[in-house]
Amino acid sequence: MAVISESVKAMNGYKLHVVKTEKYKTNTLVWKMKAPLEKDTVTLRSLLPHVLQSSSSSYPATGKLRSYLDELYGATLFVDLAKKGEYHVITISVEIANEQFLSDPTPLLKKAFQFLSEILTKPNVQGGAFDQDTVEKEKRTLKQRIQSVYDDKMRYSNFRLVQEMCKDEPYALHVNGEKEDVDKITPDSLYEYYQQAMAQDELDLYVIGDVDEADAESYAGELLSFEERTPQTAPASAGRAKESVNEVREEQDVKQGKLNIGYRTNVVYGDPDYYALQVFNGIFGGFSHSKLFLNVREKASLAYYVASRLESHKGLMMVMSGIDNSNYDQAVNIIKEQLEAMKNGDFTEQEMEQTKAVIKNQLLETVDTARGIVEVLYHNVVSGKEITLQTWMDEMDKVTKEEIAETAKKVSLDTVYFLTGKEAGK
């Protein structure tokens, strides 16, 4: 049984991926635009999808555009930005009810394609520039969005760790761009960038739901057509090999200290030892049965949350925890000991099997949601590999204790970031 089956077709300038499933009462279109992450374009790219979704040539006011979506049984339009390794990915998705669950037989899927096409190809433009009011409003919101990272200390400390750890690498850039670059953007420059992105980005459209493949293909062919292109690839940057661990301490008026530790895993998605890395991360800190949770939280009572996660396309592992300011040394030591234990193969067969089972469970659960399906499949687009979910699970099953310990040995501590409360500094 194939866990998810995706049919992929090359269209004009993009790839169409159809995943047919009867699980959902809605159909989902997910549009992805990928380009290298660069200082010069990151802020333009962050602004662009928000301008596109706020109005279009047929719906020049946000209220009109949103009323139309309400009319379509509350179809949702949603934009998002992500960093995948050294790429900056724009996602625009439309989700719409499947009319078989409504008493009204209006063919909604085609309307969803028409709407996505309107948003992408008929923006609210006059005289070679985006509508000025829209751009100004969205610039203001973008500045607030960038600024909001400072107010959520968990997000902030995570962002600061990456910034410190990846200094001089594109990955240090914030996913929403740089505040000081927002004001430089004009309706003209953004429109120029829009044309460039539409001509050069790697484009993918995913269609998930109980749809007829031929219908999807004919709607896509009729409504979405772009120039052929050879997508740009980001130069692989392994990151500097640091001579010593970078320790950063920042003081702010907070009650709880935020401890964020960054490691280089030296393994990325698609590498032969990527599966061992997944299991390693799971035993180390990915779950509530993991070493970090058991030793930092359950045994030492130092934290409510402590976990590690991977950035698979960049080869990073990040540990995050909220601790009392005075427990810094103890927490760092316990975390370091757990990594040493992993390197020494100091974990049981049972911990390993347990972790594999939980990861498998997590993957299967992920593909129970339309968005999860797209996330899993899109790894292949980012990495240029072709790994099915079944291969992923089979390969992970074969991973041995030795391979996990060997992979753990490749993991090196890079940066320890601590956001600490003011009293601790006194």
198-217 residues in contact with another protein (CB under 8 A) are none
148 binds another protein (CB under 8 A): yes
Q: Which amino acid is at 182?
A: V
Tokens found for residue 202: 């790697």
Distances (CA, A) of 414 to 162, 209, 235, 251, 318: 11, 43, 21, 21, 10
Among 188, 213, 324, 406, binds another protein (CB under 8 A): 324
Residue 55 Cβ, how far from another protein at the closest point, in Å?
11
Residue 152 binding another protein, by CB under 8 A: yes
Q: Which of 108, 89, 88 is nearest to 28 (CA)?
A: 108
Position 102 contacts another protein (CB under 8 A): yes
| Binds another protein (CB under 8 A): choice among 63, 127, 235, 272 | 63
For 208, the token pair is 């998930």
- Compute the C-alpha angle 204/207/211, nearest 5°: 155
What is the rounded (10 degree) CA torsion for 107, 225, 222, 74? 10
Strands in 15-20's sheet, in edge-to-edge order, are: 7-10, 15-20, 202-209, 26-36, 87-97, 76-84
Which of 288, 348, 390, 400 is close enough to bind another protein by CB under 8 A? 288
Using CB under 8 A as the binding rule, whether residue 90 contacts another protein is answered as no
Write down the least CB distance from residue 158 to another protein, Å. Answer: 14
**Number of residues that this document lists for the chain:** 426
66 binds another protein (CB under 8 A): yes
- Give the residue, chosen from 287, 328, 392, 418, that forms a contact with another protein under the rule CB under 8 A: 287
Q: Does 75 bind another protein (CB under 8 A)?
A: yes
Residue (24 or 226) nearer to another protein, CB: 24
- What residues between 300 and 319 interact with another protein by CB under 8 A? 301-305
The site that binds another protein (CB under 8 A) totals a number of residues, namely: 74
What order of strands is seen across the sheet that includes strand 412-421? 246-252, 412-421, 257-264, 316-323, 303-311
Name the one range near another protein by CB under 8 A: 10-18, 92-100, 119-127, 160-168: 92-100
Instruction: Look up residue 86 and give its two tokens.
Output: 């050294």
Among 8, 61, 248, 424, binds another protein (CB under 8 A): 61
In whole angstroms, how close is the CB of 208 to another protein at the nearest point?
A: 11
Q: Rounded CA gap, 76 and 20, in Å?
A: 20
Task: Decide: is 140 part of the binding site for another protein (CB under 8 A).
Answer: yes
Smallest separation (angstroms) from another protein to the CB of 100: 8
- Shortest Å, Cβ 323 to another protein: 7
Applying CB under 8 A, the span of 145-153, 159-167, 242-250, 380-388 interacting with another protein comes to: 145-153
> Between residue 338 and residue 357, which ones bind another protein under the rule CB under 8 A?
350, 354-355, 357
CB atoms within 10 A of CB 152: 11
Non-local (6+) Cβ contacts of 67 within 8 A are none
**CB of 16 vs another protein, minimal distance in Å:** 22
Do residues 86 and 37 lie in contact, with contact meaning Cβ atoms separated by under 8 Å?
A: yes
Nearest approach, Cβ of residue 331 and another protein (Å): 11
